[in-house]
Amino acid sequence: NILKHRTVYKIIKNISNKTVLAATDNFMVNEGIFNQNDSQQRWMKGVENSEGYFTLTNLYSQKVLTATSKDSLETKGINSQYF
């Protein structure tokens, strides 16, 4: 028997203003109104490491959500030295 693995994608919501995070074509991350058909708003949670950290990979860009400052997010290619 072959088990089929179905990936479950997450939506990252800002409950204070009812928006969701979306990756853009230029690696930026924006907040916008939820659209169930928008792959830019879908994220896949990676496996936790020994310290409990995990990655969030965007379905559209296949890039990882990255904090670039205390109030700025981007998507970037993954660097395996950190995992």
- The whole-model pTM stands at 0.80
- pLDDT tens-digit readout, 49-81: 999 999 999 999 999 999 999 989 999 987 544
Residue 48 near residue 54 (C-beta atoms within 8 A): yes
Residue type, 59: L
Spatial separation of the C-alpha atoms in residues 62 and 83, rounded to whole Å: 17
- pLDDT tens-digit readout, 15-60: 999 999 999 988 899 999 999 999 999 999 999 999 999 999 999 9
